[in-house]
Structure 1
Amino acid sequence: MNWLKKPYIWSIICTLLLITSSCWILLKAFVLPDRQVAVATVTTTDTTAASSEESTSSASSEAIVATDTSYTSDGLTITLTEKRVDDTTVYVADIQTADSSHLLTALAEDTYGRNIKETTSAMASENEAVLAINGDYYGFRSTGFVLRNGTLYRDIANGDTQALVIDKNGNFSIVDESTTSAASLTDAQQILSFGPALVEDSQVVVSTSAEVSQSMTSNPRTAIGQIGENHYVIIVSEGRTSDSEGLTLYQLAEQFEALGATTAYNLDGGGSSTLYFNGKVVNQTVGGNDNSDERAVSDILYFK
């Protein structure tokens, strides 16, 4: 056993242990699925549940009229427009609903946890969504409020992140996670934590230099806004391609302001940006393995 006394042997052993430990940490953080449990379930009102049941029943009895750019059925009307903004292809979806039951969220594999992912189109299809967008990719972080369809999954604030709150009536508001507890938002049906807020009280609230972390100034973007009661607008811009430069947060906010949004909020963008409508992905995605397919993400926001 004299070989164990040699200093370089212990150096090799320590190095191997360090590499193994580092690999395990990286696998746990970015690869291995980690199914977790909800913090609490928020009890919704009976009227909300009844409204959802009535909407589903009515929708099944009325014929659906759908084209590549529109959808109409009982309680849900969507119009999709494509335009060019600052050398970028931008898709705008105008959505009007009879009530808040049409606005929902879904988790990949219907499971809350880390590294549990599906593409936006797969989740949309599984939930029979008419229109869907990627959400906030909550599973990429261990902090940030997560409340979906009335269930609170995570109540740990992500610093001073601005979160989007959608209440039981479908109305939007912005809260600062550092000064708000998720549990206190008793009327909330959805809380998404990414940001920043783009428009509040019908005014642009980001500066021309605002950006998400270390992101480039022009990117594919996904964002949602509210124009009025049960009236919403979604903007998904392309970017990082030879045809589309991408939008800054300020350019994105300007689009919402021009459309009359009272509140607008930035969701996960870049390679995650995906717009699904009437059974197919509409935008050019850049987040897949070959930089053109869809990126698998943790969650979606959708209309049904």
Structure 2
Amino acid sequence: MRPAPKVVRALTGLAWAALFLVYVWVSSALFLFQGPFPNLREFVIDSLTTSRHGYLLRPLSLYTLSWAEIRRHDPNLMNFNAGISSAEQAARDFRSVSDPTIRLETVKEATFTADVMLVRDPKRVRVAVTKYLGRVGQTVSEMVAEYHAVAGVNGGAFRDVGWQGTGGIPLGITIMNGKVIQAVPNARQPVIALTRRGALIAGAYTLPQLERLGVTQAISFGPVLVQNGVGLIRGNGGWGYAPRTAIGQRADGTIIFIVTDGRFIHGPDNVGASLHDIMDLMLRYGAVVAANLDGGSSTTMVYRGRLVNQPTDILGERKVATAFIVMPETTRPGA
């Protein structure tokens, strides 16, 4: 029995549509990764490697990109020339600070817009970790709600679990409220941490070093942008331009959170920020220490139940493994 003509035409139409989609995919991939526009190619590679998803470049390029080429773009989270924060910074004591002020500001630059959150009392800032540890992450909004916080930004490096979600496993050293969640024993890692006295430190640390300094909150990411009041980034920083998240601290203890937009989400001039751009902003706000956090589509800032920025992930907020959150002013570490 022969198929009805309408069925044959429908099947033929689907076959042609499938072939057309394959053609578009193949030609677009070859044009993008092997075509005559090297700056566009570099931008796409930098965007994915900066957001720690360089592994997607091989299939997206139809395997025309080598692992060696991808690794050449892979950002180095640890700038060893940054060393570690000074003993003076690590010993700063902000336990007497009780000012509950949180201030939000917006800064417009040529290639990006930045949202800046200033938290006067650093003891309110903690690390939050996905409650689905080892399986999948949570959005910053979910973690802020989960821990009854008032604000938060995305945190450190993470690994996906079988590509079936994001943010399931934090990488490097992760400490939450004094409890070690994840650590590489005796290995120096790119760490951003807070001591029990509210001092922010950043640099290449081992877990025993952090324990001796009285660290109660820590995640791994980088590079360090400002150390001991001195900016460390040369050129544009080598990471290209993208949405960014960063954390810093003033000499008076105020924590500075910065997120920027990018990836043309707000128009053709909205390419994003370089590491040097973020360093300059941190110095402008008086940071004595500052470090880069996970960026790209992870970049998120939440305040009092609303998204402050517009994440670039097509699904909205991305699930991540860790976040820095700001607790209510009546809550103290250990409470």
TM-score, normalised to structure 1, is 0.67
Contact 1:116 1:139 in 2 (8 A): no
Q: Secondary structure of 1:256's match? A: helix
- Establish whether residue 84 from structure 1 lines up as the match of residue 111 from structure 2: no
Give the Cα–Cα distance (whole angstroms) in 2 for the partners of residues 256 and 167 of structure 1. Answer: 20
Q: Secondary structure of 1:76's match? A: coil
Q: Secondary structure of 1:257's match? A: helix
Q: Secondary structure of 2:247's match? A: strand
Q: Which residue of 2 aligns with 1:29?
A: none
- Establish whether residue 246 from structure 1 lines up as the match of residue 272 from structure 2: yes
Q: Which residue of 2 aligns with 1:255?
A: 281
Residue 208 of structure 2 aligns with an amino acid whose one-letter code is A
Q: Which residue of 2 aligns with 1:108?
A: 130
TM-superposed deviation, 1:83 = 2.1
Q: Secondary structure of 1:121's match? A: helix
Residue 88 of structure 1 aligns with an amino acid whose one-letter code is F
Contact 1:171 1:229 in 2 (8 A): no
Contact 2:104 2:116 in 1 (8 A): yes
Q: Which residue of 2 aligns with 1:195?
A: 222
Seq. identity, %: 26
Give the Cα–Cα distance (whole angstroms) in 1 for the partners of residues 186 and 273 of structure 2. Answer: 25
Q: Which residue of 1 aligns with 2:237?
A: 210
Q: Which residue of 2 aligns with 1:145?
A: 173
Q: Secondary structure of 1:118's match? A: coil
Q: Which residue of 2 aligns with 1:26?
A: none
Query: What do the CA deviations read for 1:112-155 (whole angstroms, capped 9, x no partner)?
Result: x3342111111111222211001114345674111121111222
Q: Which residue of 2 aligns with 1:275?
A: 301
- Establish whether residue 264 from structure 1 lines up as the match of residue 290 from structure 2: yes
Query: What do the CA deviations read for 1:30-80 (whole angstroms, capped 9, x no partner)?
Result: xxxxxxxxxxxxxxxxxxxxx99xx9xxxxxxxxxxxxxxxxxx7421110
Q: Secondary structure of 1:195's match? A: coil
Q: Which residue of 1 aligns with 2:146?
A: 126
TM-superposed deviation, 1:199 = 0.5
Give the Cα–Cα distance (whole angstroms) in 2 for the partners of residues 273 and 81 of structure 1. Answer: 17
Evaluate the alpha carbon distance shift between residue 153 and residue 256 of structure 1 in structure 2; reply closer, same or farther with a 3 A threshold: same
Residue 303 of structure 1 aligns with an amino acid whose one-letter code is V
Q: Secondary structure of 2:141's match? A: helix
Query: What do the CA deviations read for 1:202-225 (whole angstroms, capped 9, x no partner)?
Result: 11112224245xxxx111011110
Q: Which residue of 2 aligns with 1:303?
A: 326
TM-superposed deviation, 1:157 = 6.7
Q: Secondary structure of 2:105's match? A: strand
Q: Secondary structure of 1:297's match? A: coil
Evaluate the alpha carbon distance shift between residue 137 and residue 87 of structure 1 in structure 2; reply closer, same or farther with a 3 A threshold: same
Contact 2:157 2:172 in 1 (8 A): no
Residue 251 of structure 2 aligns with an amino acid whose one-letter code is G
Q: Which residue of 1 aligns with 2:197?
A: 169
Query: What do the CA deviations read for 1:74-115 (whole angstroms, capped 9, x no partner)?
Result: 742111011211231110111101x61x11121112x5x334
TM-superposed deviation, 1:227 = 0.5
Q: Secondary structure of 2:110's match? A: coil
- Establish whether residue 220 from structure 1 lines up as the match of residue 243 from structure 2: yes
TM-superposed deviation, 1:197 = 0.4
Contact 2:153 2:299 in 1 (8 A): yes
Query: What is the aligned residue count?
Result: 222
Contact 1:145 1:158 in 2 (8 A): no
Contact 1:144 1:157 in 2 (8 A): no
- Structure 1 residues not aligned, in runs of 5+: 1-50, 56-73
TM-superposed deviation, 1:237 = 0.3
TM-superposed deviation, 1:285 = 0.6
Residue 185 of structure 1 aligns with an amino acid whose one-letter code is L
Higher strand share: 1
Q: Secondary structure of 1:253's match? A: helix
Evaluate the alpha carbon distance shift between residue 210 and residue 114 of structure 1 in structure 2; reply closer, same or farther with a 3 A threshold: farther
- Structure 2 residues not aligned, in runs of 5+: 1-93, 161-168, 328-335
Q: Which residue of 2 aligns with 1:236?
A: 259
Contact 2:223 2:292 in 1 (8 A): yes
2:210 corresponds to which of 185, 189, 212: 185
Contact 2:140 2:302 in 1 (8 A): yes
Contact 1:284 1:292 in 2 (8 A): no
Q: Which residue of 2 aligns with 1:22?
A: none
Contact 2:187 2:206 in 1 (8 A): no
Contact 1:115 1:139 in 2 (8 A): no
